[in-house]
Amino acid sequence: MPRALITGGSAGLGRALAAGLVARDWDVILTGRDEHRLAAVARELGRRVTPLAGDVTDAGHRSAIAASITDGLDLLVNNASTLGLSPLRPVLELDDQVLRDVWETNVVAPAALIRTLRPYLEPGAAVINLTSDAAVDHYETWGAYAASKVALEHLTLTLAAEEPGLRWWVVDPGDMRTQMHQDAFPGQDISDRPLPESVVPGFLALLDDRPPSGRYRAAELVPANAGA
Ligand SMILES: NC(=O)c1ccc[n+]([C@@H]2O[C@H](COP(=O)([O-])OP(=O)(O)OC[C@H]3O[C@@H](n4cnc5c(N)ncnc54)[C@H](OP(=O)(O)O)[C@@H]3O)[C@@H](O)[C@H]2O)c1
Looking up residue 61, the CATH number of its domain turns out to be 3.40.50.720
Q: From atom 8 of ligand 1, which residue's Cα is the shortest distance away? A: 132
List the pLDDT tens digit at each of the 228 positions of the chain.
999 999 999 999 999 999 999 999 999 999 999 999 999 999 999 999 999 999 999 999 999 999 999 999 999 999 999 999 999 999 999 999 999 999 999 999 999 999 999 999 999 999 999 999 999 999 999 999 999 999 999 999 999 999 999 999 999 999 999 999 999 999 999 999 999 999 999 999 999 999 999 999 999 998 665 544
Q: Specify if 227 maps to a domain.
A: no
Verdict on whether the full-model pTM lies above 0.95: yes
What 3-state class would DSSP assign to 80?
A: coil
81-94 burial code (b ≥16 CB/10 A, e <16): bbbbbeebbeeeeb
Q: Which atom of ligand 1 is nearest to the CA of 78?
A: 45
Tell me, using a 6 A CB cutoff, whether residue 110 lines ligand 1: no
Q: Specify if 161 maps to a domain.
A: yes
Q: Specify if 129 maps to a domain.
A: yes
Q: Give the domain range for residue 193.
A: 3-221
Four-CA torsion 15, 21, 27, 28, nearest 10 degrees = -30
- In the reported structure, the alpha carbon of residue 82 is separated from the centroid of ligand 1 by a whole-number distance in angstroms of 7
Q: Specify if 228 maps to a domain.
A: no
94 contacts: CB under 8 Å, gap ≥ 6: 84, 85, 143, 144
Question: Total domain count for the chain?
Answer: 1
- In the reported structure, the alpha carbon of residue 137 is separated from the centroid of ligand 1 by a whole-number distance in angstroms of 20
Are 56 and 9 in contact by the 8 Å Cβ rule? The answer is: no
Q: From atom 39 of ligand 1, which residue's Cα is the shortest distance away? A: 33
If phi over 0 gives left and psi between -120 and 50 gives alpha, with beta otherwise, what is residue 6? Answer: beta
Consecutive H or E run containing 221: helix 218-221
Tell me, using a 6 A CB cutoff, whether residue 13 lines ligand 1: yes
Q: Specify if 121 maps to a domain.
A: yes
Q: From atom 29 of ligand 1, which residue's Cα is the shortest distance away? A: 80
